Amino acid sequence: MSKEKLKANIWAFVVTAILARLITLGSGNLDRFDAALVGYTFATLFAAFGITRRYALWLQRPPTAMYWTRGWKVFFLLLHPRHIVSNLFRFFQRLFVHYAFNDFIWRRGRMRWLAHWYIMWGCVIAGGITFPLVFGWVHFASEPDNLEWYRVRLFGYPTVAFPIRSLVGFLTFHGLVWSSILVIIGVLLALRRRLHDHGAAALQEFGEDILPLFLLFAISVTGLMLTASYTWMKGYGYDFLAILHALTVIFTLLWLPFGKFFHIFQRSATVGVAFYQDVGKQGEQAKCRRCGEEFASRMHVEDLITVEQQLGYHYEMPDSPVEHYQWICPRCRRVLLGLAQGQLWSGVRDQESGIS
Amino acid sequence: MYLPNQNEFFIDPARCIGCEACVQACSECDTHKGHAMIHLEHVDRGQSTQTVPVVCMHCESPTCAEVCPADAIKKTDDGVVQSARKPRCVACNNCVLACPFGVPKMITDFELMMKCDLCYDRTSAGKKPMCASVCPSGALYFGPRAQIEQLRPRSTPVNKFQFGRQTVATKVHMMAPKGPAKAQYVDVTDAMNETGRGQRISLDILSTMYVSEEQP
Ligand code: HEM
């Protein structure tokens, strides 16, 4: 086993073990654990293993590792007492506009945004409800002196209470219905774009682009069918639906580390990137060694030179004052392409006219 | 998805007349609607009329994809390096700075890198990329190799480029002189001290152009 894989496996094992311990702790040594949910629990543990493993492998790729270490260094630099207030403000602002609102997807297209926003929030709400319930971290118990009231218990400890027959009660107990509806609307909007958009149609692949939408749709619809079954149909087909629903969820959980859903975890990297760029802008800039214009932060260019060397590229220019091609700006690189071709032709012409 | 065909992309910057038809056409491609991915550079605007159209060269081992921290740049089985995957790209700019040809564009508003993808919606269905379908001077040419060799008897396609100590092999070819001086690769960094050559070269080459060079 390679060093990278070994490291990733260890991390994955540790994270899974911690989660398992939290499940036994939270559920009072499985006292409050619902045995019917054991399939979901094991699928989650496997997913935690897979996601951590892939995340750890990913962090060890040279460009990612560079951002990872730099990101943390830059982060602590920004925590300096002089900047901490403005930087924390920027951090929370970014958390809100980027992660919660998805402002950048809004700018890519309103329909794209609407689809994603519904899907994301539907899944966040559903995950926020189901995981703590399945793990036994949260459960509802009626008050001994008042059966009309429920008290929320967190890790077994009593917290707030609310009347069962109330708006809060209605909204809470149907949380998964609301989130399913959000997801279904989002998925249909996304599918609509994928069916109509000529460009998307040319690029999309079943496993990467269609299957995730299909899975979310299947989870939400089978979930709603469960609610319909016990609410209006006296539990008709409930056992079958419960198995179907569990299968769709378990498959999705097991698939989280592999396909498109991995972006949920991987996009955390944008925080580091944003800090890196902030610090880069404040520091020394790199000047193109052909045209003299500033084109990036010096730190970025130097880091890229390191990463390229780690990857086995040799853009060094030992006989030139330029030293490394990374010191040439993108515009000059494009111009050089034309100049290089011109140089070949001028060589031919010189030969033809007898000058060599 | 991809129908294998014998068409290949050949660029011949010396033929570029800077008309910008490619830029306009490019922004009509369905995979990046409204955004032109082709670059049209003036070599030295004050001194020369020389222009260079730059499309993605679709490297065999793409530096952009290797330096991507988010694994967002993928190559199709038929060797086309795609634009960044939309959910993955973290807009870090590594690819923009590292591409030896200066191809990827950072669309800051979208927090997304976009680049020429050989008009995958078109080329995967056997059509020409937008730019090649409108280029009036044959600087951007998409078609069978035998055809271009016949049309440009003085030229031969080369798909290796030298940057310092690094050789980069690409799917897209550049037209280079044939004959005893035939270059094994285009030495890009060797042109570091070159300056724009005005129209001398392009006129020279255009004079050898076949009148019947109509692209099908
Ligand atoms: C539970 C959370 C999330 C789920 C279930 C989810 C799901 C999805 C799905 C299914 C797509 C594909 C849509 C399509 O087929 O067109 C997608 C795209 C995307 N997601 Fe998420 N996502 C989640 C969270 C996030 C977060 C937190 C971010 C980053 C802030 C993010 C960024 C993106 C981006 C940039 C795209 C591409 C959008 C585009 O087409 O331009 N996602 N997501």
Q: What is the CATH number of the domain that holds B138?
A: 3.30.70.20
- A338's CB contacts (< 8 A; 6+ apart) are B13, B14, B16, B41, B43, B50, B51, B52
Nearest CA in chain A to B30: A199
Could you give the dihedral angle defined by the CA atoms of residues B139, B144, B150 and B151, in that order, rounded to the nearest 10 degrees?
A: -30
Q: In what order do the strands lie in the sheet with B140-144?
A: B140-144, B7-11, B166-177, B155-163, B186-187
pLDDT for res A355: 54
Min Cα distance A253 → chain B (Å) is 19
Could you give the dihedral angle defined by the CA atoms of residues A141, A143, A148 and A152, in that order, rounded to the nearest 10 degrees?
A: -40
Indicate if ligand 1 lies below 6 Å from the C-beta of A219.
no
- The CA distance from A267 to A262, in Å, is 9
User: Is the residue at B111 inside a domain?
Assistant: no
- CA nearest ligand 1 atom 2, residue: A120
pLDDT in tens, A103-153: 999 999 999 999 999 999 999 999 999 998 888 888 888 888 878 888 888
Q: What count of other Cβ atoms lies within 10 Å of the Cβ of residue B191?
A: 19
User: Is the residue at B69 inside a domain?
Assistant: no
Residues lower than pLDDT 70 in chain A: 350-356
Question: What is the count of residue pairs from A and B with beta carbons less than 8 Å apart?
Answer: 212
Token pair 């930087």 is at which residue? A87
DSSP string covering B107-173, please?
EGGGTEEE----THHHHTTTPPPHHHHH-SSSSEEEEEHHHHHHH-TTEEEEEEEEETTEEEEEEEE
User: Is the residue at B74 inside a domain?
Assistant: no
User: Is the residue at B163 inside a domain?
Assistant: yes
**What is the model's pTM?**
0.89
Contact indicator for B172, B55 with CB cutoff of 8 Å: yes
Domain count, chain B: 1
Residue among A263, A322, A341 whose CB faces B176 most closely: A341
Indicate if ligand 1 lies below 6 Å from the C-beta of A332.
no
Contact indicator for A199, B30 with CB cutoff of 8 Å: yes
Residues lower than pLDDT 50 in chain B: 1-4, 210-216
- A254's CB contacts (< 8 A; 6+ apart) are A43, A46, A47, A50
Contact indicator for A250, A267 with CB cutoff of 8 Å: no
Greatest alpha-carbon span in chain B? 50
pLDDT for res A154: 84
CA of A194 to the centre of ligand 1 (A): 14
Nearest CA in chain A to B45: A335
Question: Structural domain of residue B143, as residue ranges?
Answer: 4-55+116-214
Contact indicator for B13, B52 with CB cutoff of 8 Å: yes
Query: Cβ contacts (< 8 Å) between A314 and chain B: which residues?
Result: 164-166
- The CA distance from A50 to A2, in Å, is 17
The backbone torsions φ and ψ at residue B69, rounded to the nearest 5 degrees and listed phi first, read -75, -15
User: Ligand 1 pocket: which of A262, A264, A273 to mutate (most atoms <8 Å of CB)?
Assistant: A264
CA of B104 to the centre of ligand 1 (A): 23
DSSP string covering A309-338, please?
HHTT---EETTSTTEEGGGS-HHHHHHHHH
pLDDT for res B216: 45
pLDDT in tens, A185-215: 999 999 999 999 888 988 899 999 999 999 9
pLDDT for res B180: 67
pLDDT for res B204: 54
Indicate if ligand 1 lies below 6 Å from the C-beta of A122.
no
User: Is the residue at B120 inside a domain?
Assistant: yes
- The CA distance from A221 to A185, in Å, is 11
- Say if the Cβ atoms of A311 and B67 lie within 8 Å: yes
